[in-house]
Amino acid sequence: MTFILSVLALLLILATALPLSIRREWWIRALDFPRLQIAILAALWLVSWWVIMPHEGTWLNILALAVAIVTLYQFKWIYPNTEMHRQEVERYDSSVDGNCPHFKMITSNVLMTNRDSAPLLSLIKKHQPDILVTLESDQWWQDKLDTLQSYEYRMACPLDNLYGMHVYSRLPLSNTQTSYLVEDDKPSMNATVQISPGVDIRLHIVHPAPPAPGENDESTERDVELLLLANAIAEKRDGARDGARDGERIVVAGDLNDVAWSATTRLFRQLSGLLDPRIGRGLFNTFSAEHWYARWPLDHVFVSRHFKVTNIQRLPNIGSDHFPLMVELAITDSAQQSSEMEDEEVDEERLDSIMNSTAAQNAQMPVI
């Protein structure tokens, strides 16, 4: 039993230590994902140690101390995505904020091979979003979604490589663009959305490839796309400051193939200055819909300081490997909210490593 506990403890320690590296191999970056699972396994290890053999010598006692540190360290990363933490984006209160323009958006990675559109169409009918964003949507999905007659404004990029992308909107779209920033077959979209007369937002949709076997051997391409967008947002914001407004109203949404607590996502938030509506509200794990024990928040919505949250929720399974995510936002333009990221030092070593990569040198700059 001592041998088994020792091996398990060493594996937990190794799985915690490896992601500290700035290396981008997929098998290292994959360990960014299961922090909750590692914390639970570490806690179970401590219970087993305490119940079975708490007095079996110095070696196990040292391992128990190390595993306790692992448990606390892993939970530290998860803690902001719990209701115990302060909400980063405030809740909209009409009695305080007044009658503000608002909109509802559903983002859904439909799973290209899923050939049952009825569950998603049913959710659209039930929730009546103003904007629908679909990922992995090919021509078959476009044909099904084109039946949404009330969604007059559209962007379409049907692909059969798992990276198709569509936007269906009841609200007017302008300045629309589909770009291939890092990889020639991985699109991103951006558009100006008119929420109400005189009130616009800039919407960016992203779906970079994950670091995984059969995709990319490293996370470089994903990281570059996210950080290029973050830098472009920051430059536009800094250039637009006029005292009354904190830059442009911006929403970034999509399947980032990265978790909310990863080093890259944190860099994205630090550089862009965008806020995460899930902080202080919950994990909102959207992947995998197929495995309850291995779920992570891969589908994201980030917003500038102009917004408050009316509602955010994970919707029921539609037959995909992702759950849809719905968010309703009010535009208050208060610009008083702040991110905990502002007080953290930027990981310059990691940032330089990503932005000096070949993928970054060959990438296109996003249009903001």
Q: What is the mean pLDDT of residues 267-291?
A: 95
Domain around 76: 2-81
Q: What is the mean pLDDT of residues 184-201?
A: 96
Write down which residue in 46, 81, 116 finishes a domain: 81
Q: Evaluate if residue 246 carries a pLDDT over 90.
A: no
Query: Does 193 map to a domain?
Result: yes
CB 135 within 8 A of CB 161: no
pLDDT at 135: 98
Q: What is the pLDDT of residues 127-157, one digit of tens each?
A: 999 999 999 999 999 999 999 999 999 999 9
Query: Does 89 map to a domain?
Result: no
Confidence label for 245 from pLDDT (cuts 50, 70 and 90): very low
Confidence label for 243 from pLDDT (cuts 50, 70 and 90): very low
Write down which residue in 81, 113, 128 finishes a domain: 81
| Rounded-to-integer distance, Cα 170 and Cα 160, Å | 26
| Rounded-to-integer distance, Cα 164 and Cα 207, Å | 9
CB atoms within 10 A of CB 38: 23
| Rounded-to-integer distance, Cα 107 and Cα 131, Å | 8
Specify the range with the lowest mean pLDDT, choosing from 127-131, 282-286, 341-345. Answer: 341-345
Task: Round the average pLDDT of the chain to a whole number and report it.
Answer: 93
Query: Does 168 map to a domain?
Result: yes
Q: What is the mean pLDDT of residues 323-350?
A: 85
Confidence label for 8 from pLDDT (cuts 50, 70 and 90): very high
Confidence label for 54 from pLDDT (cuts 50, 70 and 90): low
Same domain, 231 and 317: yes
CB atoms within 10 A of CB 4: 9
Write down which residue in 81, 104, 119 finishes a domain: 81
Amino acid at 220: T
Query: Does 368 map to a domain?
Result: no
pLDDT at 55: 66
Same domain, 100 and 65: no
Q: What is the mean pLDDT of residues 323-335?
A: 92
**For the chain, what percent of residues have pLDDT higher than 70?**
95
Q: Evaluate if residue 179 carries a pLDDT over 90.
A: yes
Same domain, 206 and 109: yes
Which residues are within 8 A (CB) of 212 and not within 5 positions of it... i.e. 6 or more apart? 26, 30
Angstrom CA distances, 287 to 166, 210, 225, 330, stand at 20, 13, 21, 27
Same domain, 235 and 307: yes
Same domain, 218 and 318: yes
Which residues are within 8 A (CB) of 276 and not within 5 positions of it... i.e. 6 or more apart? 88, 89, 260, 269, 300, 302, 339
Specify the range with the lowest mean pLDDT, choosing from 53-62, 75-84, 295-304. Answer: 53-62
Q: Evaluate if residue 108 carries a pLDDT over 70.
A: yes
| Rounded-to-integer distance, Cα 6 and Cα 21, Å | 24
CB 179 within 8 A of CB 172: no
Amino acid at 190: N
Query: Does 236 map to a domain?
Result: yes
Same domain, 9 and 127: no
CB 301 within 8 A of CB 252: yes
Q: Tokens 């403890």 belong to which residue?
A: 9
**For the chain, what percent of residues have pLDDT higher than 90?**
86
Same domain, 114 and 228: yes
CB 221 within 8 A of CB 362: no
Query: Does 321 map to a domain?
Result: yes
Q: What is the CATH number of the domain that holds 268?
A: 3.60.10.10
Going through 66-217 in order, the beta strands assigned E by DSSP cover 102-109, 131-135, 153-157, 165-169, 173-179, 188-196, 199-206
Same domain, 299 and 203: yes
pLDDT at 53: 72
DSSP state of 18: G
Closest C-alpha among 287, 229, 233, 280 to residue 259: 287
Work out whether the CA dihedral 295, 296, 301, 303 comes out positive or negative: positive
Q: Evaluate if residue 34 carries a pLDDT over 80.
A: yes
Q: Evaluate if residue 244 carries a pLDDT over 60.
A: no
Query: Does 88 map to a domain?
Result: no
Q: Tokens 């503000």 belong to which residue?
A: 100
Going through 23-172 in order, the beta strands assigned E by DSSP cover 102-109, 131-135, 153-157, 165-169
Same domain, 339 and 241: yes
Predicted TM-score of the model (pTM): 0.94
| Rounded-to-integer distance, Cα 346 and Cα 365, Å | 21
Q: What is the mean pLDDT of residues 342-354?
A: 89
Query: Does 118 map to a domain?
Result: yes
The structural domain count of the chain equals: 2
Same domain, 303 and 353: yes
Same domain, 104 and 203: yes
CB 314 within 8 A of CB 324: yes
Q: Tokens at residue 277, please? A: 């509506």
Phi and psi at residue 187, in whole multiples of 5°? Answer: -80, 160
pLDDT at 318: 98
Same domain, 41 and 102: no
